[in-house]
Amino acid sequence: MDFDPLNPENNDERRTRLKPRMFKAFESIREDVKRGMDVRGKESLHKFYRMEMPFSKALEIQKIFQKKLSEDKLGSMVKIRNLNHETDLEEFTELYNEIFLAAPDPSRRLSIEEAKSFDEESTFLALLGSTFAGFIYLTIDRAFTDPNARAGAIAGIGVLAKYRGKKIGLRLLSHSIDYFKDKNVEYLVCEVYEHNDPSRKMFEGMGMKIVGYMILEEEEGVVESKLNPDLK
């Protein structure tokens, strides 16, 4: 049977559980997964698709982004800048929680103290006028298909529901490509929750491909991960 990235469990005659273990920071690139999920009252197993694209292709895609954004009348009203811990933490925390607690992802509420862990140099806010409308958090990691290759990781991205459809997410993604240009990365990677179709379609729309998946369990962390065997 061919590998089916959207239903990877169908590729195994029987999924074998690995020995339970706690979260380890290097096992997921997502900020919310590293902090731990709030899955009380929900299913205990969660699948995340691992997505990837060559950074050279991301640079080509950015040219298309820039053309679309240059034609956007809202452009002059949207500003993207770095997070500032001294002035932004309270409003950023409110922004984060409003976005993710309404999303299907099993994220838990972010505290102001935890928000301090978001690096100012690699966390960017999208402001519509003076209003916080979205953010993106970036890190340097390793490619899923080539652990020896440096990758730019989108560890978190979100736009408030009332501001979606205004190309704010597109601006944040384009800004992320700019950020990684001098970081010597070979790939762009992210992890998307299986039930978050809008996020998956957004990344697929920019050319990212599902190359595998990971399965997380409450309190145990990653219990299974797999790459598309055709890409090994």
* pLDDT one-digit tens code per residue, 33-82: 776 666 544 556 788 899 999 999 999 999 999 888 888 777 678 999 99
| pLDDT above 60: residue 221 | no
Hey, where are the domains in the chain?
Answer: 18-222
Where are any strands of DSSP class E within the chain? 45-54, 78-82, 123-128, 131-142, 150-159, 187-193, 209-217, 221-227
Q: Minimal CA–CA distance to 159: which of 193, 198, 109, 210?
A: 198
| pLDDT value for 41 | 47
Q: Which of 37-41, 48-52, 125-129, 205-209 has the lowest mean pLDDT?
A: 37-41
Q: What is the pLDDT of residue 91?
A: 98
Greater confidence (1 vs 160) lies with: 160
Question: Which comes out higher in pLDDT, residue 160 or 13?
Answer: 160
Residue 113 pLDDT level (bands cut at 50, 70, 90): very high
What is the topology classification, in CATH, of domain 18-222?
Aminopeptidase (3.40.630)
Decide if pLDDT at 170 tops 80: yes
DSSP letter at 15 equals: P
For residue 17, the model assigns a pLDDT of 32
- Per-residue pLDDT, averaged over 130-140, amounts to 96
pLDDT band at 177 (very low <50, low <70, confident <90, very high): very high
- pTM value > 0.85: no
3-state secondary structure of 106: coil
Decide if pLDDT at 178 tops 50: yes
pLDDT of 19 reads 29
Give the per-residue pLDDT at 115.
Answer: 96
Query: 165 falls in which pLDDT band (50, 70, 90)?
Result: confident
Question: Which are the contacts of 16, defined by CB distance < 8 A and separation ≥ 6?
Answer: none
Contact indicator for 3, 230 with CB cutoff of 8 Å: yes
Helix (H, G, I), strand (E, B) or coil at 177: helix
Element (H, E) at 92: helix 85-100
Q: Report which of 171, 185, 169, 135 is spatially closest to residue 155, judged by C-alpha positions.
A: 135
Pairing of the two strands 45-54 and 187-193: antiparallel
**Residue in 160, 102, 156 with CA at minimum distance from that of residue 131:** 160
More confident site: 15 or 156: 156
